[in-house]
A and B are shown apart, each in its own frame.
Chain A
Amino acid sequence: KAGVTQTPRYLIKTRGQQVTLSCSPISGHRSVSWYQQTPGQGLQFLFEYFSETQRNKGNFPGRFSGRQFSNSRSEMNVSTLELGDSALYLCASSLGQRLAGGNGYEQYFGPGTRLTVT
């Protein structure tokens, strides 16, 4: 099975611009979660989508938004970029459903998109 793919891998934007990041989950996975990783704050949960609906949300401002398509691919958008948005953005996919033995929620991460805001 192909793993989680993210595009683009690297991105440089200017403060005030907006950006859209893409994530293609593992085939058959219906849940996509997004995370932000910075040296200062570590890995922080942004939001999760399951079957085209946002199911959980972290503590990020409304400038951070996302969506999921019927094929489970997901996009994340950040509007009005700030210097502090420079980070590695990771997406992870999972089945998103509880199976026997607590299986079904293990997350498989992509390589990330490195966003630099200047």
Chain B
Amino acid sequence: DAKTTQPNSMESNEEEPVHLPCNHSTISGTDYIHWYRQLPSQGPEYVIHGLTSNVNNRMASLAIAEDRKSSTLILHRATLRDAAVYYCILQGMGSSNTGKLIFGQGTTLQVKP
């Protein structure tokens, strides 16, 4: 399973943008980049995913480097509710990878009022 590297923790001020980085230098051509987050006392929550192009949804944006060896999750205006552990996960589309998310340690995001 391809590995991702994320900073252990980050801080942000409320209503400011947050850029959460992820390195995945051993990514394969068919791996999708997924982001999940886990709020305190809750199960993980799907945030966004992408393959090569940048992606936007109502929760966040995902910027993917041209060589795909790194990506950045962007929260455009952090709120206190965004304080969570953010996980960057590579998921292959082959049958041996379906339904299987390999979670790392993630990045704990603290949002200050």
Contact = CB atoms under 8 A, between A and B. Distances in A.
Partners in one complex: yes
B contacts with A: majority SS = loop
A56 interface: yes
Contact of B42 (A43, A44, A111): A111
Interface string B85-97: 0010001010111
Interface residues of A, number: 30
A94 to B, nearest CB: 7
Interface in B61-113: 87, 91, 93, 95-105
Interface of A: 4, 31-33, 35, 42-45, 48-50, 55-56, 58, 90, 92, 94, 96, 98, 101-102, 105-112
Interface of B: 32, 34, 36, 42-46, 49-51, 87, 91, 93, 95-105
